[in-house]
Structures are given as C-alpha cells and as structure tokens.
C-alpha cells in the first residue's frame, strides 16, 4: 500500500502531537483533525479532543467533559494545549496572518480577523497547517501579525512554534536565529519545488529527510476508521505530487 500525499500530510500533522502528554489537541482544518485523532488512537493516547463545539470527546464521539469557549480560553492560558491553526500568510520567523490582506486601515481583502491567534501564540505551542504551499502564503512579511513569530516574541516565556506543515513538507524554526527551516519533504516533492513556492530564504539542510511513511496500522486507521470518505484528498489532491 502506497501512502498518498494527503496521508503524508496527516502523518506530518499527527507527529506534532507526539509526546505531548495529557493536553488538548486543537486542530483547525480537516487534515490536522485527522492527524490529531490518529495521534490519539496510536502514539498519544492521553490527548484531549473536542467536538469542535463545547464538548471534550473521544475519537468515537463519547463525551468525557465540557469545554465551552470561556473555559477553552482558560485552557489556552494554562498552556496545556497545542493548537494547529491555518495561515493566510506566514513569514520566515513564523508570524502568521488571518486578519486581512493589504493595508489594515482599508484592506484589499478582509479575512477573518485576528481571532485567537495572539492569545494562542503567547500561551501555548502553536503550529500551522497550509494546504496549498505558495508564494501568496509564504511571504517575506505578513500584512498583519496575528500569530506572533520568533522575531517579535522576545521575552515571551510561553511562546513556541513547533512546526509548520504544508502539502509540500514540514518546516520548523530549529536555526540559530529561529528562522524557518525545511525539516522534511513529503515523498515525491523536491527541494526546488519548495524553494519556488516560498517567498523568502529558507534554511535548507544538506540532507533533507522525507516525511516518514505511515505504518500499516496507521494507514488502516486513516482509511477505515477516521476518514473512510477520503475527505483528506479533497483538501490535498493527489495531483499535487507532480
């Protein structure tokens, strides 16, 4: 069984929650949600998950607790959470934007608003998921800093951006100045492809590993238990491989 691109993305997202312990996994977006559930079913069984609303639930939907927004915000500030957010723009130091494109005073395109990105990034580990890696998303400078990057987080004691996952690879900030580094390529992707789709200078190690393959058990869980309708392929189509 060969894993598809979307399945490598699921694995790359799931790995964000490896070793996280008994904390809330807050995946935003489809593939991170599949990844979080996969992590909980395999290597991170103590993770807490929500139903996307006000309940803490098991992978099968069994309710185990109550977490309305007001308590969710307290959980964020407690730090016992790892969120994976989306990003309309992200820059070299991990500054993220979901608010608006263009001049904030009169935006070219109004998006969501800052939402909880400021509170998330100052309080608990925050990773990002980008389903379509492009020059529009990976920019030199974001138009509005919602999620705080490493160059603006001086002294923020709980700030951490463990990883950025895109349809092309996995990225982290394990460089001396905490600028973005290519951590792994999804099988079938080349370094050139990533460079061409990134609007700033990435650190590229001499040897870039490939994102690991799912185990047969993981592949079965993804395909038969968690996402039998293959919704993941709609978020990251297989054509992305070429």
Least distance (Å) between residue 76 CB and another protein: 7
The strand pair at 109-110 and 100-101 is best described as antiparallel
Question: Looking at beta carbons only, is 44 or 95 nearer to another protein?
Answer: 95
Least distance (Å) between residue 112 CB and another protein: 5
Q: Which parts of 101-160 interact with another protein (CB under 8 A)?
A: 104-119, 121-123, 144-148, 152-159
Question: Looking at beta carbons only, is 147 or 214 nearer to another protein?
Answer: 147
Least distance (Å) between residue 114 CB and another protein: 6
Binding track over 51-80 against another protein, x by CB under 8 A? --xxx----------x-xxx--x--xx---
Question: Looking at beta carbons only, is 122 or 208 nearer to another protein?
Answer: 122
Least distance (Å) between residue 156 CB and another protein: 6
The answer to the question of residue 192 lying near another protein (CB under 8 A) is no
SS (H, E, C) the chain: CCCCHHHHHHHHHHHHHCCCCCCEEEECCHHHHHHHHHHHHCCCCCCEEECCCCEEECCCCCEEEECCHHHHHHHHHHCCEEEEECCCEECCCCCEECCEECCCCCCCEECCCCCCHHHHHHHCCEEEEECCCCCCCECCCCCCCCECCHHHCCCCCCCCCCCEEECCEEEECCCCCCCCEEEEECCCCCHHHHHHCCCCCCECCCCCCECCCCCHHHHHHHHHHHCCCCCHHHHCCHHHHC
Least distance (Å) between residue 19 CB and another protein: 25
- Piece of the chain touching another protein by CB under 8 A; list 7-15, 31-39, 98-106, 174-182: 98-106
Total residues at interface with another protein (CB under 8 A): 44
Question: Looking at beta carbons only, is 61 or 216 nearer to another protein?
Answer: 61
Q: Which of 18-45 are b and which e, b meaning 16 or more Cβ less than 10 Å from the residue's Cβ?
A: eebeebbbbbbbbbbbbbbbbbbbebbe
Question: Looking at beta carbons only, is 1 or 112 nearer to another protein?
Answer: 112
Question: Looking at beta carbons only, is 141 or 220 nearer to another protein?
Answer: 141
Q: What residue ranges bind another protein (CB under 8 A)? A: 53-55, 66, 68-70, 73, 76-77, 99-100, 104-119, 121-123, 144-148, 152-159
């Amino acid at each position: 069984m060969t894993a598809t691109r979307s399945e490598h993305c699921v694995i790359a997202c799931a790995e964000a929650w490896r070793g996280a312990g008994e904390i809330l996994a807050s995946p935003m977006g489809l593939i991170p949600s599949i990844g979080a559930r996969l992590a909980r079913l395999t290597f991170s069984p103590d993770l807490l998950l929500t139903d996307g609303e006000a309940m803490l639930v098991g992978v099968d939907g069994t309710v185990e607790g109550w977490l309305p927004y007001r308590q969710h915000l307290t959980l964020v500030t407690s730090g016992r959470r790892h969120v994976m957010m989306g990003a309309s723009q992200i820059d070299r130091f991990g500054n993220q934007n979901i608010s608006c494109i263009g001049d904030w005073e009169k935006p070219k395109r109004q998006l969501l608003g800052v939402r909880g990105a400021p509170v998330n990034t100052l309080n608990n580990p925050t990773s990002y998921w980008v389903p379509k890696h492009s020059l529009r998303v990976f920019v030199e400078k974001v138009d509005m800093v919602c999620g705080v990057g490493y160059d603006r987080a001086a002294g923020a004691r709980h700030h951490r951006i463990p990883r950025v996952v895109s349809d092309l690879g996995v990225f982290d900030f394990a460089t001396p100045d905490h600028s973005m580094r290519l951590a792994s390529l999804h099988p079938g992707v080349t370094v050139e492809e990533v460079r061409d789709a990134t609007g700033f200078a990435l650190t590229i190690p001499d040897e870039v590993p490939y994102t690991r393959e799912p185990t047969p058990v993981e592949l079965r869980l993804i395909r038969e238990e968690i996402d039998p309708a293959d919704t993941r392929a709609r978020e990251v189509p297989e054509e992305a491989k070429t």
